Each structure stands twice: as structure tokens, then as C-alpha cells.
Structure 1
Amino acid sequence: MDENKTASPAPETPAAPKKVRRVGRVAFALLLILAGVLLLVQQFVPRFDLIGLVRFAPAILIVLGVELLVYSARPDIKVKFDWLSVIGCAFILCIVGGASVLPYLWSVAGPERSYAQGRYTSQIQDQAYRALNADTDLKAKVTNLYANVYFQHMQSGGYTLQDGDEVYLHVVLPQNGYTTAQAFAEDAWNITRLLEQADVPVTNYSFSSYAADDGTGNGYALDFLPSFAEGLTAGQLAQRVQSQYQFEGDVYDTQADRDNAVKAELRERIIEQFGNDNDGAYPGEEYINEQVEQQFSRMFPAPAAVESSTAESAAPQAPAAPAL
């Protein structure tokens, strides 16, 4: 009977539990070491370009990928992501990135850059006024002159004006001081020539002449680069002038439109005034036209005629009388 009994199967040995490996710990540890080294180097090396190295931050993804591949290749290892380490990597990257940007922000928004720009602004304004001493009549026409300096470069330590930086010079000429764009452009051209001769470092010129405070008159504006004005005459530069013709606050596209509107308004006022002074009588057309022209010429005087000195010198002279 014992021979008919079957042997019971041997009990199976339980499989060894897999080791758990958390992906991200190695990357976090390496990033901690690297971040500490970089921040120390930044403290002791003034010209260290930390922001250039931060551009390689995506390399941490490569480290995480390699770590995942190595652990996944082993069958005895169970892979899990260590999310705390991954979040820690992102936090460390934010710290290093912020530390790399701080010197740039301090250089742009810090007081040293502003002080340097203000210092150069004052120096350029003084230099421009001294350059105008060569023509005091022209200098007397300048109502206001101010400069704006903009650094386009980064610099550690004291800022200095360099190639590529921008210097805007604004010159305000007499209010209602010009009747033609040609005359306005001639003064702008002469001022530019004097500043160029004195080597004033201007990269952008801006000239303006406003109408009167009551909004009546001619307004002119002219903006150009020194390279644009080089080789041009004042007449050619006048073609770039932006003109504005005003009457009591209203702006007209052309001088003819403004003048016609002014004369029409003056005509109505003269007729009304004449009627008030003469018991409602209507003036004659000759009187109206005469008064309109007189009042208009007072409001908008015609440009003074300029005699050419060369024409005078070229005029034939009468021969001297023979001595007796």
C-alpha cells in the first residue's frame, strides 16, 4: 500500500524581493555639489559668467535619463521616481538661475548705472553749450538744450561711454521763432556743424520749435542721425522737417489751409467789430481786405528778406572819378 502513495511536491522557495531604487537622488546630489561650487566661484571670481553656465541646465534631464536606464536594465531592481529629489533639483536650478541674473539686474537697475548716465548727461550738455560759443548769436536762439544717455552695454565697476551707447541731444529753438522750414533747418544744420566740430558724442539729434502758448503760429520738428546729415546742405535737410501750422489751437495740414482759415476768421471779426462801432453798418470790401491783411501780417510776419553778400560783391561798381 505504501507503494501506491504519491510523493508530495517540494515546497517552492519564495522569490527574493526586488530592491527599490529611487530615480532622482543621484541627480539631486550631483546638482547640489555643482550648485555649491558655482556659487562659490561666483563670489570670488568677479567676471565669472554664471548665466552662461545656467544655459546647460537641461543637462540634468540627461542625468535623470541615464539614471533611469541603468536601474531599469537590472531585473532585480524596482524603479521608482523620487519626486522630492526631482522637486529639489528644480528648486536648486531656480536658486542658481536667480543668482546668475542678480548681477545683471543690479548692473541695469542699480544706482551705479544711473549715476554714470547722469554724469555723462551733464558733461555732454556742458560740452554742447561750450561748442556753441563759436557762434553766440546762434547760441542765444537756443531756448533749451538737454541730453539723454543710454548705455547699451554691461560693465562691472565704473561705467564709461562706449561705442554702441546712445546719446540723444534735444535742442529747443525759439517759440514761434521761424516762419519757414528752411530757416528752422538752417539753424539746426549750423548747430549740428558746431557740435560735430567740437566732437560732442551725439548719436541722435532732435530739434523743435513750438507755436505760441495760445496755439497760434508755426511749429517745426526735425530728428536725424549724424550720419544722415553728413554731406547734406541746410536746404536738403529742410525736406525732413515736420511742419505744423496752428491757429488758436487748431492744426492744419498746410500753411495755405491755415492762412485761409485765419483770414476768414479775421474777416468775420472785422465785420462784427465795425458793426458794433458804427450802429450795425457794413464795411466796404476794400476796408475789410485792408484790415484783414494788416492784422494777418501782425500775426504772421513775412520772413525778412536777406540780401546776398556775394551779390553785393559781384555788383558792378562805378569807376572812380579821375583826379583833377
Structure 2
Amino acid sequence: MEETKQTTPTAPKKVRRVGRFAFALLLIAAGVLLLIQQFVPHFDLLSIAKFAPVLLIVLGIEMLVYSARSDVQLKFDWLSLVGCAFILCVVGGASVIPLFWGYVSPAREYAQSHYQSMLQNQFYTALTADPELKAKVRNLQVYVDFNHTSSGDYTLEEVDDVYVYVELPENGYPDAVSFASDCRSIAQFCRQAGIPADRFDFTSDDNTSNGNSFSLNFLASFSDGLSDEQLAQRVSSYYSYDDTSYTSKADRDNAAKADLREQVLQEYEDAHEGEYPGDEYLNQEVENRFNALFPAAPEAPAAPATPESAA
């Protein structure tokens, strides 16, 4: 007699779609945050949006809870996951818009321009204490760059950048040391004026084909404790003649005198049927033309004698 085996039918597993709970939670959170942004002044949505990875934690918790149950079959709700990604993009975009507007806002440009003009006036006022030095300044610009946009409050703060650019006389310095000395003095006046400069850029560019050019840039605290000679080591020097630049004054002078010598010799020979002018005339004429091309720059005034040096 055959025995009939009876099998107990198993109950079908419940299908749980992972992502629905996270999507619903994200919808609520996004709506609340966007509403707060509209009605709460200076609300920083970007700092809240940085916690977006919490959504991954919520999804992981869903998977752990449902996978622990033997009567549940897990499936990903891809529509909910796509919805989560879309909501994150919306919230992220809404948090970045105020930041972007802070950089392009006309109010930002106006505030920077206002501070630049105000600081330049302070600087010129401070230089009035040394009229001779002030007269050497051909151009002075103070540039302000806001690094903060929080609260849309465009006031000069410690985190903002302030640069000072100064143009000094062309061919106005005999050497790099005298140029560095004036740069140091101007930087000191800037500090006395209460201008929070972060960096200085000095230049004595020569816009002609023959002349001397110096440039120097340093952070505000760099010159502290250095002598003029030490600061001059950072100066970039350029000596030009006939649109050719030389890094050494001696090289420039030798090249210029050699060229002038050829010119004088050729002119004299053409005017005197090939006759040699003589060394004395040739050297004197070359020296005269050289001095006309490169007039001597004023020497830096000597430092006043101190009681110690007088002794």
C-alpha cells in the first residue's frame, strides 16, 4: 500500500521595496529645509546639505531590518532611488544659488570698490608725512577680494584678501637697494594707516627701450627684521637698451657703449672721408651719448647720523 506524502504549502514571502522609506523621509526633510530657507534670514542650507550621506545610512538600515526577516523578500525600488537623487539635486542646487549669487551680486562689487577707494585714500593720507616719498608714487592701487559670502554681509573681514600695488618712477633708482628702501618705507606707512594688506607688489617699470626696471613683491610680514640690502636680494632687476633686456647693469652698459662707439666712428668717418677721429674724441662722444640715454638716477639720501655712529 502506497503512502501518500502530503507537503505543507509555504506562505508566500512579502515583498519589501527598499528605498520607499528613505524617499519619503527625504521628501519631508527637503520640504522643511526649503521652507526654512524662504522665511529664515541667513539660513545656511549648504551646511545642512553636507549631511546628504545620511540617506545611505537610512537605506542600509532598511536593508538590515528587512533582511533579518525570513518572510520578507527584498527588492530595490528604483523609482524611489531616482526620486531621492532628484531631490538631492534640487536641495543641492538651492543651497548653492545663494553662494553663487554672493559672488556675482552687484552689492559685492560695490562693497569691494568702496573699500578699495577708502583704503587708497587712507594710504595717500598716511604718505603725506613724507612728501618726498609720496611724490615718487606714480600709481597706487589697493585691491580687495572678499573670501566670505555668509549672510550676504559685505564687510571687510580678516579672511578677506587685501593687495597693494605701487608704481614708482621709471629710471628713478640707481640700484636695487635704494628701490627696496623706498618699498619698505611705503609698506611701513601702509601699516601705520591701519590697512590690513596681505601682499605688496612694487614696480619701477621702464616703458621705453632704454632704462632700468625693478620689481619687488612680498607678503606683509616678510620685510620685518630685514635690512635694505637683504630685502634687495628679492628685487628683480632689468636693464634695457635698444629693446634688449639685460639682467646685469654692467652687461647693458658695455653693450650700449660698444654700439654707440660704432655709431660715432661710422658718422665721423663718413663726414671726414674715412679719417679716424682719435681715441679722446671717440671716448668723450660715446660718454656724452651714453649719459644722454641713461641720465644718472638720483642717489638715495644718506641716513641721518645717530649718536652712536657720530661717536
| TM-score, with structure 2 as normaliser | 0.87
Describe the superposition over 1:26-58 as per-residue Cα deviations: whole angstroms up to 9, x where unpaired: 111111111111222222233433222222222
- Distance, in Å, in 2 between the alignment partners of 1:96 and 1:111 is 25
Q: CA deviation at 1:83?
A: 0.6
**Residue 114 of structure 1 aligns with which residue?**
109
Are 2:264 and 1:262 aligned? Answer: no
Q: 1:290 aligns with which of 264, 267, 284?
A: 284
- Distance, in Å, in 2 between the alignment partners of 1:286 and 1:22 is 104
**Residue 152 of structure 1 aligns with which residue?**
147
**Residue 183 of structure 1 aligns with which residue?**
178
Are 2:215 and 1:217 aligned? Answer: no
- Distance, in Å, in 2 between the alignment partners of 1:112 and 1:106 is 10
Q: Which runs of 5+ in 1 are unaligned?
A: 1-5, 312-324
Change in Cα spacing, 1:100 to 1:303, as seen in structure 2 (3 Å) is closer
State the AA in 1 paired with 2:289. Answer: Q
Describe the superposition over 1:211-256 as per-residue Cα deviations: whole angstroms up to 9, x where unpaired: 242x211001111233222344444433332111111211112111
Give runs of ≥4 in structure 1 deviating > 6 Å: 10-13
**Residue 32 of structure 2 aligns with which residue?**
37
* Native 8 Å contact 1:166 1:203 kept in 2: yes
| Corresponding residue pairs, total | 305
Paired residue secondary structure (2:80): helix
Give the alignment's Cα RMSD to 1 decimal: 2.5
Paired residue secondary structure (1:227): coil
- Distance, in Å, in 1 between the alignment partners of 2:269 and 2:167 is 43
The structure that has the greater radius of gyration is 1
Change in Cα spacing, 1:305 to 1:51, as seen in structure 2 (3 Å) is closer
Paired residue secondary structure (1:22): strand
**Residue 251 of structure 1 aligns with which residue?**
245
Q: Which has the larger displacement, 8-17 or 62-71?
A: 8-17
**Residue 268 of structure 2 aligns with which residue?**
274
**Residue 165 of structure 1 aligns with which residue?**
160
Q: CA deviation at 1:206?
A: 1.6
Q: CA deviation at 1:281?
A: 2.8
State the AA in 1 paired with 2:238. Answer: Q
Q: CA deviation at 1:63?
A: 1.7
| Identity rate, percent | 53
- Distance, in Å, in 2 between the alignment partners of 1:269 and 1:183 is 33
**Residue 70 of structure 2 aligns with which residue?**
75
State the AA in 2 paired with 1:226. Answer: A
**Residue 91 of structure 2 aligns with which residue?**
96
* Native 8 Å contact 1:107 1:156 kept in 2: no
- Distance, in Å, in 2 between the alignment partners of 1:136 and 1:304 is 16
Q: Which runs of 5+ in 2 are unaligned?
A: 306-311
Describe the superposition over 1:55-106 as per-residue Cα deviations: whole angstroms up to 9, x where unpaired: 2222212222222233333333332211111111111111112222222222
State the AA in 1 paired with 2:135. Answer: A
